[in-house]
């Protein structure tokens, strides 16, 4: 049974790395003593070692050991044998490129569909959707495909941001970008605000956190969804 936590962000304003989620994660990872960390998204170009250290420090507070996947010779086997998996944020293009390069798409799909708990934040959440086409990241490398893990039958837009009505900047708003996405793609998009997450337990998908999420479907007006609402029918 799938057991997944898809978080908009690792960090909310005024709080430490993963701090706002830690209580939730204690329950989520209760059956695991160690967590396999996938640091490939490398926020700000941080090294795999340094990023793993950062994750370790956060998880030490709930007595979990964190091991970086880059320390394994056989990364597919590491995924297969992991007690739990955490894919951190950073650049989604870099993350997806590295997952394809290391042939990890199938290994991750299999492990998570077999019940290995999976936590994603930001880029690590993006890849839980059908494709990475609704990432906010800069395309700094070119992955072989934009197809991602499809743990949920829609796309994720993490760090969802409402239009700033006072802005004088002419770059596209997030809503406009997602509207453009729907000129070429039919799957729904869930705009997850910072502090929100999706909980996936088997076939049940629930919006968690204190904020509403914004749901975008092709040829429909976007709407707000309240916390604790089920998203099982969104596809």
Is residue 138 a contact point for its own copies (CB under 8 A)? yes
Is residue 43 a contact point for its own copies (CB under 8 A)? yes
**Active-site hit among 122, 125, 182, 196:** 122
- Rank residues 84 and 96 by Cβ distance to its own copies and give the closer one: 96
Dist. CA 155–CA 188, nearest whole Å:
6
Segment interacting with its own copies (CB under 8 A) among 10-18, 22-30, 32-40, 79-87? 10-18
**Which one of residues 76, 109, 136, 229 is an interface residue with its own copies (CB under 8 A)?**
136
Dist. CA 222–CA 235, nearest whole Å:
14
In this structure, the number of other CB atoms found within 10 A of the CB of residue 29 comes to: 22
Active-site residue, 159 included: yes
Active-site residue, 122 included: yes
Shortest Cβ 61–its own copies spacing (Å): 20
Is residue 168 a contact point for its own copies (CB under 8 A)? yes
Tell me the torsion sign for CA atoms 133, 135, 136, 141: negative
Is residue 141 a contact point for its own copies (CB under 8 A)? yes
Shortest Cβ 84–its own copies spacing (Å): 24
Residue 69's DSSP bridge partners are none
Residue 76 has phi, psi (to 5 degrees) of -60, -45
| Residues 34-62 as b or e (16 or more Cβ within 10 Å = b) | ebbbbbbbbbeebebeebbebbbebbeee
Point out which residues bind its own copies (CB under 8 A): 9-14, 42-45, 90-91, 93-94, 132-142, 145-146, 159, 161, 168-172, 176-185, 194
Cite the active site residues: 122, 137, 159
């Amino acid at each position: 049974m799938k057991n997944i936590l898809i978080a908009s962000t690792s960090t909310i304003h005024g709080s430490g790395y993963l701090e706002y989620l830690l209580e939730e994660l204690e329950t989520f990872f209760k059956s695991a003593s160690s967590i396999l960390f996938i640091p490939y998204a490398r926020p700000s170009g941080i090294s795999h070692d340094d990023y793993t250290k950062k994750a370790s420090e956060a998880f030490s507070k709930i007595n979990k050991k964190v091991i970086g996947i880059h320390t394994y010779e056989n990364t597919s086997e590491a995924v297969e044998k992991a007690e739990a998996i955490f894919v951190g944020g950073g650049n989604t293009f870099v993350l997806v490129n590295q997952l394809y390069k290391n042939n990890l798409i199938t290994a991750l799909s299999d492990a998570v569909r077999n019940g290995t708990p999976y936590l994603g934040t930001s880029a690590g959440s993006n890849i839980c959707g059908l494709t990475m086409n609704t990432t906010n990241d800069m395309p700094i490398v070119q992955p072989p495909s934009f197809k991602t893990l499809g743990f949920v039958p829609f796309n994720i837009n993490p760090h969802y941001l409402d239009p700033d009505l006072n802005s004088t900047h002419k770059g596209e708003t997030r809503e406009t970008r997602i509207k453009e996405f729907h000129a070429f793609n039919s799957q729904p998009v869930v705009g997850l605000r910072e502090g929100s997450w999706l909980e996936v337990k088997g076939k049940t998908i629930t919006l968690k956190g204190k904020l509403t999420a914004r749901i975008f479907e092709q040829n429909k007006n976007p709407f707000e969804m309240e916390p604790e609402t089920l998203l099982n029918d969104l596809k």
